A and B are shown apart, each in its own frame.
Chain A
Amino acid sequence: MNAVPEETEKIMSCPRCEHTGIEQVAASPVEGVWTVHQCERCLYTWRSTEPARRTSPEHYPPEFRMTRADIDAAPPVPAVPPLVRR
């Protein structure tokens, strides 16, 4: 499939948080079928062949979008406990 390199080039930013630091983390064992990408900031991970609602910033659903502030405000589960000396 020739479309894959083209599509990869088009992915300039994370569909979810629009950060531009994107790493390719996997490629299909059958060459050229798909690639898997990950946002370095929000860790959103997607396969190039997924529907546009999951792969394109333009079509990504507003309710799942994330900003730097959302990431920083994510509450800890569970909270890190205080160190205990024995």
Chain B
Amino acid sequence: MPFDDLRSFLDALDSHGQLLRITEEVQAEPDLAAAANAAGRIGENAPGLYFDNVAGFTDARVALNTLGSWANHAIAMGMDPLTSTKDQVAEFIRRWDDFPVAPERREDAPWRENSVEGDDINLFDLLPLFRLNDGDAGFYLDKAAVVSRDPDEPEDFDKQNVGIYRMQVKGKRRLGIQPVPVHDVALHLRMAEEQGEDLPIAITLGNDPIITLMASTPLRYDQSEYEMAGAIRQSPYPVATAPLTGFDVPWGSEVVLEGVIEGRKRELEGPFGEFTGHYSGGHSMPVVRIDKVSYRTAPVYESLYLGMPWTEVDYLIGPATCVPMYKQLKADFPEVQAVNAMYTHGLLAIISTKKRYGGFAKAVGVRAMTTPHGLGYVKMVIMVDEDVDPFNLPQVMWALSSKFNAAGDLVQLPNMSVVALDPSSSPAGVSDKVVIDATTPVIPDDRGHFSQPVRDLPETPHWVAKLTRMLAAR
């Protein structure tokens, strides 16, 4: 059964032994963030964390690291928690082909139970806000699905966007928001600001895991996250109408904030510890005014720790980055076998491919940089042969160490676009990019001495099965 809200997902994590409930009293800072940080340091199958005894609060429920391991990602996808990363990505790819699945409208959303408006709103009272990293400017909302519409075509469901953007809580009903120019909300904001208008938005907190994954997936501008969520969860996605904006928002959200990004206004935001493992620096960013809050009784507040990888964000965004890039490359080049773009949101990608002719793998690597996500992220591509699994890093290192010759296998492209948060970019947002071709050269590229590879013996699979059986029977 797919999860319609965060609570049912937390129950599923619990039933698989993948949720730790911490009942002793903790401090909001630094305990909550330090615990979530620690979850990324105790292995690949770390649990989600749930706190309900935070000093000074009477009614705080905080969920962290819900998607912060391969086991939890598998449970979110309705799969066996032991499913390998590669198989989780393969299943994601298989379900992707069911897009679009029309959403299901349900107007009995539990967040209709309570509401507050205008100057009566105080986010500090409504949410157990807390700081993540030492240098953060304040308390952030960093796992909310933010909904906005194309101001020129507000009735176009497909152009309605659902994305995750960091937001700094700056006042009782005021937020800072980071609309990175390569993301869809920045396009919506630009259109509104060109007309001198505010951009209405709905910010949904505490969601089912699949809309969180979809809000992190680089879909095309006119692909609906809700219709893709339906494909990935294999069931129509439940939406409800937000009361103030009229936008379509998740039926199961814990809290829905509605308001506007105030047009043509900028104000200091940040720094914030980012997915690159570095702080963002301070920038002058747009400001959100909240006009209405709707919320479930006894809401669960969900947040996400991020910092030096790996943390929850890497598990959350890893497969969601691999899949669209694989689909976009495969459409042009059927020879592509697999894409692993899980490193720092795809700043580095590893792609395996068959070769049509000499130079082909380099072309595929360059093409990855011109996919929609590649434009802002893919800075380094490692190309490997079809018999190398990009998810098996020892195999990738073997390919690099034995196939790669810098004399002819390095393609460096100067002054390309990259996300400005990349701390190595100079100026911010501009970087050279590189394709490292670790595939075996094929005709007419006759460099090197690759005619005598050592292959696994034909009898080896038989012995793999036999040894595995013997080990299991001990």
Contact = CB atoms under 8 A, between A and B. Distances in A.
Interface stretch (B15-23, B50-58, B304-312, B335-343): B50-58
Contact of A49 (B55, B169, B196, B269): B55
Given A30-B58, A43-B268, A83-B194, A77 B138 contact: no
Contact of B282 (A46, A53, A66): A66
Interface stretch (B129-137, B220-228, B252-260): B129-137
Nearest to A31: B56
Contacts of B29: 47, 49-51, 54
Contact of A46 (B55, B124, B131, B189): B131
Interface residues of A, number: 38
Given A74-B284, A83-B196, A45 B55 contact: no
B217 to A, nearest CB: 22
B275 to A, nearest CB: 16
A28 B57 contact: yes
Interface string A54-72: 1000000101101000110
Contacts of A33: 55-56
B266 interface: yes
A26 B284 CA distance: 25
A63 B134 CA distance: 11
Nearest to A33: B56
B271 interface: yes
B139 A45 contact: yes
Contacts of B134: 53-54, 61, 64
B131 A29 contact: no
A25 B283 contact: no
Interface residues of B toward A: which range? 35 or more
Contact of A63 (B135, B137, B178): B135
B131 A49 contact: no
A42 interface: yes
A33 B264 CA distance: 39
Per DSSP, chain A at the interface is loop
Contacts of B176: 43
Interface in B152-196: 168-172, 176, 178-181, 186, 189-190, 193-196
A34 B56 contact: yes
Nearest to A44: B137
Nearest to B427: A75
Nearest to B264: A80
A25 B171 contact: yes
Contact of B169 (A30, A45, A47): A45
A36 B178 CA distance: 23
B420 interface: yes
Nearest to A86: B195
A80 B131 contact: no
B91 interface: no
A54 B190 CA distance: 35
B193 A49 contact: no
B194 A82 contact: yes
Contacts of B266: 76, 80
A84 interface: yes
B195 A84 contact: yes
A55 B280 CA distance: 21
A42 B172 CA distance: 16
Contact of A77 (B27, B170, B171, B285): B285
Interface in B259-287: 264, 266-269, 271, 279, 282-286
A86 B420 CA distance: 32
Interface in B216-245: none
B125 interface: yes
Contact of A42 (B268, B279, B283): B268
A78 B194 CA distance: 13
Contact of A28 (B56, B138, B186): B56
A77 B283 contact: yes
B28 interface: yes
Contact of B137 (A34, A45, A50): A45
Interface in A1-47: 16, 25-26, 28-30, 33-34, 36, 38, 42-47
B284 A77 contact: yes
Contact of A76 (B130, B172, B180, B283): B283
Given A47-B28, A53-B134, A76-B266, 17 more contacts: A16-B137, A29-B56, A29-B58, A34-B28, A38-B170, A43-B268, A45-B137, A45-B170, A49-B28, A64-B135, A71-B268, A74-B283, A75-B283, A77-B420, A78-B286, A81-B190, A82-B194
5 contacts: A28-B55, A34-B55, A61-B135, A63-B135, A83-B195
Q: List the 10 shortest-distance A-B pairs measured between CB atoms, nearest first.
A: A45-B138, A28-B56, A33-B56, A26-B124, A84-B194, A64-B135, A77-B283, A29-B58, A76-B284, A74-B284
